[in-house]
């Protein structure tokens, strides 16, 4: 994709689709080349909707956040604007296309010099870059019609308020901690200010002189929501013994029940999924379980469940085996086997499938082996990149490590060719494992995974959904499936910030295709332990799970009290529960990798739970799953 196409895509996907409407503003984003404002080694990421590191330990802001802040200034073209925190100069360049004059202040002289040079190269003659403490404003150039502050503090700096002209507005991130920031707009009305809150954000802190006088504290009395949750929740007394009849009734004649764990290494989530799955097979005649495991790995389980003996001759896969080879999953396979063998009619045996025909996890392991053999430092870049297979994950170090790009790019061709070849060999060994269309698109897919493209998650999801549809077709028009994926894939991504980043989930595809016949169940947990790896390909270990963050669904449900419950969200008896929970909150997702050191960036995303799921399973405290042989 060319730079111009990437920029256009950013404007469409990350700005327009996310509610930025002003055509002048969108045009400004089309005109400013963001790649010039990021480090050359990071140019390939310039049009992702992400902040990126710049010199002096600072960041260039995320495009959507710049757009939302500038939109809140409501510029008409004739204004004099002050920006505090020039950083790279990118936002100043955008502002210069929308206002008549821009004054921008940066406390790091080196950043100011670089921004001045870039703005001049772009011919932006209406921008003045100053060096200094922006919390004091730039009185000699004021008063201003609009002020935007690109760094956060615990209050709105008083000096900036003084420099606002009549009717002028200031947009500023306010919050005592990084987790607690919200974007605030104050508009001068005579001698006072009207205040609007524009939602949660995360900015680097400003460092300045201003005393704390105009504190803005985000409000949030939660007790009414907690009371509603308590009233609507159906307690789970025992994972193994509850009848689950009310849940089965709600599922009704749905053709697909999708169960999404919030962490893939939590024992209670696996056991609860198992419990629901058994009930669906036993009492509602579901035909098969489809998981996000590699196809070949799942075949071994299916053989066992179907009563075949002797290991299947498929190449062994490696990472992360514990996700499937654990006591909790094996208990379900053994139950399936006993149940299947006791049936008089073999055609009624329930099957176990893996939906990932590209064998992504095994392929990533192969990629890492090959890259490590070439250069272990390049392997670091790769491990950071594969975080993009879990799109909520933002490893702060990933962009720095990705700077090892050149060496990495040179290996691409050979490694992708090896993976395509192994897939071709697999298709020969196991003719119904890999079909022609999977083979045909394999190269495209492996390239996306190798490069760590944001598109790789969508490609994997779309491919798993196609396989699921084929399985349903294979099992006949009245067949029914239980689907086990991670929570982000099960939930409807349109109800999360992942949608704005262009992600599309399997749950969303299922709703589009099956409407109410797809029943999406999410899972959540607050604290305890989890089995996970510290990075791709590292050995899994038992890690303690931090308690849910402020402003998250996890924190809310934890504070509700009951230790385990089901929460019906599709058509709850009390409709108010949907409305109250529809205020966006953070939600945690943990895949095979858990990074508790940067948990907020790596594992939390904004979501609207009652739009994302039809039902939610809450288990307050969980233990780590037990890998086989442990
Ligand atoms: N708008 C910038 C862009 O488009 O690249 C991003 C700004 S970055 C998130 C915040 C910047 O604010 C940093 O460059 C930091 O050095 C600067 N900063 C922090 N405190 C400041 C202060 N008191 N005065 C001026 N600049 C400050």
Classify residue 574 by its DSSP letter.
Answer: S
Ligand 1: residue whose CA is nearest its atom 20: 206
* Ligand 1 pocket residue status of 34, Cβ below 6 Å: no
- The C-alpha atoms of residue 177 and residue 154 are separated, in whole angstroms, by 8
Rg (CA), the chain: 26
Catalytic residue among 61, 505, 552, 602: 61
Query: Rounded distance, CA 380 to CA 332, Å?
Result: 36
Angle between the 295-305 and 327-342 helix axes, to the nearest 10 degrees?
A: 50
83 neighbors 91 (Cβ within 8 angstroms): yes
Q: Is 208 in the pocket of ligand 1 (CB under 6 A)?
A: yes
- Average per-residue pLDDT in the chain? 84
Give the predicted TM-score (pTM) of the model.
Answer: 0.69
Residue nearest to atom 17 of ligand 1 (CA): 85
Give the Å distance between the CA of 38 and the centre of ligand 1: 15
Q: Kindly report, residue by residue over 128-152, the tens digit of the pLDDT.
A: 999 999 999 999 999 999 999 988 7
CB of 379 sitting under 6 A from ligand 1: no
pLDDT of 411 higher than 90: no
Residues 78-99, mean pLDDT to the nearest whole number: 97
Whole-number Å distance between alpha carbons of 613 and 619 = 16
Q: Which residues contact 215 (CB under 8 A, 6 or more apart)?
A: 154, 155
CA-based angle 565:568:574, to the nearest 5? Answer: 110
Least Cα distance to 350 among 374, 332, 323 occurs for 332
Unique residue bearing structure tokens 């080349």: 33
Q: What's the CA-to-centroid distance between 534 and ligand 1, angstroms? A: 32
Average pLDDT over residues 50-54: 79
184 CA distance to ligand 1 middle (Å):
17
Closest to 482 measured CA to CA, from 629, 214, 288? 288
Supply 416's token pair.
């992708």
Tell whether ligand 1 has an atom less than 6 A from the beta carbon of residue 557: no
Among 49, 87, 109, 114, say which to mutate for ligand 1: greatest number of ligand atoms within 8 Å of CB. 87
Beta carbons of 536 and 593 less than 8 angstroms apart = yes
CA distance 92 to 431: 58
Q: pLDDT band at residue 587, thresholds of 50, 70 and 90?
A: very high
Binning pLDDT at 50, 70 and 90, where does residue 220 land? very low
Q: Cβ(61) to ligand 1 under 6 A?
A: yes
User: Is residue 84 in contact with ligand 1, taking CB distance under 6 Å?
Assistant: yes
Give the atom of ligand 1 at the shortest distance from the alpha carbon of 37: 5
Ligand 1 near 88 CB (within 6 A):
yes
Cα-to-centroid distance, 404 and ligand 1 (Å):
27
Q: Is the pLDDT of residue 489 over 60?
A: yes
pLDDT value of residue 629: 67
Residue 400 has pLDDT above 50, yes or no: no
Whether pLDDT at 456 is above 90: no
Q: Higher confidence at residue 310 or residue 325?
A: 325
Which of 116-130, 166-180, 379-393 comes out lowest in average pLDDT? 379-393
CA of 150 to the centre of ligand 1 (A): 6
Whether cis (ω within 30° of 0) applies to the bond prior to 588 is no
Rounded to 10 degrees, the C-alpha dihedral 524/529/530/531 comes to -160
**Predicted local distance difference test score (pLDDT) of residue 317:** 47
**Residue-level pLDDT at 48:** 81
CB count in 10 Å sphere of residue 424 = 12
55 pLDDT band, cuts 50/70/90, is: confident
Report the percent of the chain where pLDDT is more than 70.
Answer: 85
Both tokens of residue 40? 């050359």
Q: What is the pLDDT of residue 576?
A: 87
- Site to probe by mutation for ligand 1, drawn from 34, 62, 93, 107 as the one with most ligand atoms within 8 Å of Cβ, is 107
Question: Is 88 a residue of the active site?
Answer: no
User: b/e for 27-51, b at 16 or more Cβ within 10 A?
Assistant: ebbeebbbbbbbbeebbbbbbbbbb
- Ligand 1: does its nearest atom lie under 6 Å from the Cβ of 505? no
User: Residue 394 above 70 pLDDT?
Assistant: no
Number of H helices, E strands in the chain: 24, 22
* Pocket of ligand 1 contains residue 150 by CB under 6 Å: yes
Position 180 confidence tier, pLDDT thresholds 50, 70, 90: low
């Amino acid at each position: 994709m060319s730079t111009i196409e990437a920029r256009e895509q950013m404007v469409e996907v990350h700005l327009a689709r996310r509610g930025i409407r002003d055509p002048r503003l969108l045009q400004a984003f089309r005109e400013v080349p963001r790649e010039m404002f990021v480090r050359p080694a990071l140019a390939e990421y310039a049009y992702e909707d992400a902040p990126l590191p710049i010199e002096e330990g600072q960041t260039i802001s995320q495009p959507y956040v710049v757009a939302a802040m500038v939109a809140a200034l409501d510029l008409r073209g004739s204004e004099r604007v002050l920006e505090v925190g020039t950083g790279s100069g990118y936002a100043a360049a955008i502002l210069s296309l929308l206002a008549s004059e821009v004054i921008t202040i940066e406390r790091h002289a080196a950043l100011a010099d670089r921004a001045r040079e870039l703005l001049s190269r772009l011919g932006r003659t209406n921008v003045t870059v100053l060096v200094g403490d922006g919390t004091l404003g730039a009185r000699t150039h004021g008063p201003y019609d609009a002020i935007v502050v690109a760094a956060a503090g615990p209050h709105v700096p008083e000096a900036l308020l003084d420099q606002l002209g009549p009717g002028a507005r200031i947009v500023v991130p306010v919050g005592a901690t990084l987790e607690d920031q919200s974007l605030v707009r104050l508009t001068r009305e005579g001698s006072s200010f009207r205040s609007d809150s524009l939602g949660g954000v995360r900015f680097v802190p400003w460092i300045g002189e201003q005393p704390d006088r105009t504190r803005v504290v985000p409000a949030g009395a939660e007790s009414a929501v907690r009371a509603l949750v308590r009233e609507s929740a159906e307690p789970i007394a025992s994972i193994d013994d509850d009848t689950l009849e009310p849940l089965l009734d709600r599922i009704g004649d749905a053709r697909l029940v999708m169960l999404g764990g919030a962490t893939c290494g939590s024992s209670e989530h696996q056991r609860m999924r198992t419990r629901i799955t058994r009930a669906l097979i036993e009492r509602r005649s579901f035909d098969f379980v489809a998981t996000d495991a590699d196809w070949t790995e799942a075949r071994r389980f299916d053989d066992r469940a179907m009563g075949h003996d002797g290991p299947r001759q498929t190449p062994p896969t490696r990472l992360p085996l514990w996700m499937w080879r654990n006591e909790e999953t094996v208990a379900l396979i053994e139950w399936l086997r006993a149940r299947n063998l006791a049936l008089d009619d073999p055609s009624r045996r329930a099957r176990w499938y893996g939906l990932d025909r590209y064998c992504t996890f095994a392929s990533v392991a192969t990629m890492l082996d090959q890259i490590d053999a070439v250069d272990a430092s390049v392997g670091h870049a790769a491990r950071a990149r594969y975080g993009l297979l879990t799109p909520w994950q933002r490893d702060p170090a990933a962009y720095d490590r990705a700077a090892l790009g050149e060496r990495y790019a040179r290996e691409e061709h050979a490694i992708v060719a090896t993976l395509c070849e192994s897939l071709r060999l697999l298709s020969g060994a196991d003719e119904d494992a890999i079909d022609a269309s999977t083979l045909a698109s394999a190269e495209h897919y492996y390239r996306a995974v190798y490069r760590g493209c944001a598109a790789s998650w969508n490609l994997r999801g779309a491919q798993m959904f196609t396989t699921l549809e084929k399985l349903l077709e294979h099992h006949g028009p009245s067949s029914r499936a239980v689907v086990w994926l991670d929570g982000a894939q099960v939930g409807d991504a349109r109800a999360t910030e992942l949608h704005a980043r262009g992600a599309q989930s399997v749950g969303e595809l299922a709703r589009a295709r099956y409407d109410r016949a797809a029943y999406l169940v999410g899972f959540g947990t607050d604290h305890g332990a989890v089995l996970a790896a510290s990075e791709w390909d590292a050995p899994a270990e038992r890690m303690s799970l931090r308690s849910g963050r402020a402003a998250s669904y996890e924190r809310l449900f934890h504070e509700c009290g009951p230790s385990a419950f089901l929460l019906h969200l599709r058509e709850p008896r009390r409709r108010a529960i949907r409305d109250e929970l529809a205020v966006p909150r953070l939600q945690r997702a943990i895949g095979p990798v858990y990074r508790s050191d940067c948990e907020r960036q790596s594992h939390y995303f904004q979501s609207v739970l009652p739009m994302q799921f039809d039902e939610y399973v809450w288990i307050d405290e969980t233990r780590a799953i037990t890998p086989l042989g442990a």
